[in-house]
Structure 1
Amino acid sequence: MISPDSKPRCLLYMDVSARIQDSYSRQLTQVFVSQWQQANPNCHIIYRDIGSSPIPHINEAWVAAYESEPEQRTAEMQDAIALSDTLIDELFAADCYVVGMPMYNLTVPSSFKAYLDQVFRRDRTMQIVNGTPQGRLADKKLLVITTRKYNYRVGSGREDRDFLEPYISAIFSISGLTDISYIHADQLALDLEREQSLANATQAIHQLALSF
């Protein structure tokens, strides 16, 4: 809980599921945001619905802008990279991030990969020093709430097929962000396990939201 004199905190809240109705990840992120708002009065929330409003993939004009100095960019280049700058501004403005992330084909949805390609730039979210990337998001926190048809946790026998969590951890660490929490709602394809898995995830969300 923040004190009345503290600067209001800002949360960047993203939904990635292609489903609007009956999306478990959307339901769970809503639970987190509701609890987080109670713990952080006067907070500010930035919302991105990547699932229903996909981020465009980078293209030739974007790459040309990225490879050029800002003062050398043409009007076309500036237009091509404008959304990327806005998305990065949101990352810097927020104190913490929560993402509702369904697992698609063992990893992140392609819509989220497009988002990452837009925001991880060596001229803004990181810099290269002696060939080594140094990130600029080291003071941020990230919660990823995943939904999965089956169990891919360590000991499940399927852990070698989980390319979602390792990828998220690796790519964000390049930007300096290593304070990452995961809450997995798995076994959702199985009627007998689904209710308990969602209940466990909801309980974990309630606990984490109070201190996030």
Structure 2
Amino acid sequence: MTTNTILRIDTSARRANSVSRTLTDAIVARFPEASVTTRDLAAAPLPHINEGFVTVTKGSAQDTLSDTQRDMIALSDALIEELRAADTIVIGLPVYNFAVPSGLKAWIDLVARAGETFRYSEAGPEGLLKGKRAIIAMASGGTEAGSEIDFATPYLRHVLGFIGITDIELVKADRLAFDPEGTMKAAQEQVATLAA
């Protein structure tokens, strides 16, 4: 698959010494010709969905919406458009307390919208963002990727698949607390093998 456009999503609360940001830097550098849109969910946090947003997405008439509701829908529309425009989505995934950061969950809640990124049919849910590639850069202190205490990577894989993105690769820098140098070396080797 050719990568012409990348949506890069960073979620680490750390600026300096962030492993997931180091990995997303390295992954994006594998595609020097691509146009990159960056969404830093730590620097510019997204609002969490609320009753007003849920009400709107259930089909409220436009003339009954508050300004706040219109703003939330406009933000959701913009985030979805960033996803639609990207060939490849690069997601920095630091594991916080065995799961995804709350900022990433807020993004997911705003982009997973019925009729926009998925739909329900007689055969069940169908993702609408097909033909895209996702690369997850996972970093953790003690959580091993794919282990019984890893609730982050399976969840993110499932959500991406739910909206139609099934070509998913994982670059992992897990269990950094135990062997930081060896773990980073292995992760960098994974990045080097990514098909550009």
Q: Deviations over 1:92-117 (max 9, x none)?
A: 00001001110001111111011100
Pair 1:30-2:25 in alignment: yes
* Distance change in 2, residues 1:105/1:9 (3 Å): same
In terms of Rg, which structure is larger? Answer: 1
Q: Note the 1:102-113 alignment, pairs <5 A.
A: 102-113=94-105
Could you tell me which of 181, 186, 189 is aligned with 1:200? Answer: 186
Amino acid of the structure 2 residue aligned with 1:19: R
What's the TM-score, normalizing by structure 1? 0.85
Picking from 144, 147, 156, the partner of 1:168 is: 156
Q: Choose the corresponding residue for 1:184, options 172, 175, 180.
A: 172
Deviation at 1:71, TM superposition (A): 4.5
Match of 2:16 among 13, 21, 24: 21
- Alignment check: 8 A CA contact 1:96 1:142 kept: yes
CA RMSD of aligned residues (A): 1.9
Aligned length: 195
How do residues 34-53 of structure 1 correspond to structure 2 at under 5 angstroms? 34-37=29-32, 41=33, 43-53=34-44
Alpha-carbon contact 2:145-2:153 (below 8 Å) kept: no
Cα drift, residue 74 of structure 1: 2.6
Q: Percent identity?
A: 34
Amino acid at match of 1:198: M
Structure 2 length-normalised TM: 0.92
- Structure 2 unaligned runs (5+)? none
Cα deviation for residue 123 of structure 1 reads 1.9
Which residue in 2 is equivalent to 1:63?
A: 54
Relative to its length, the structure with more helix (as a share) is: 1
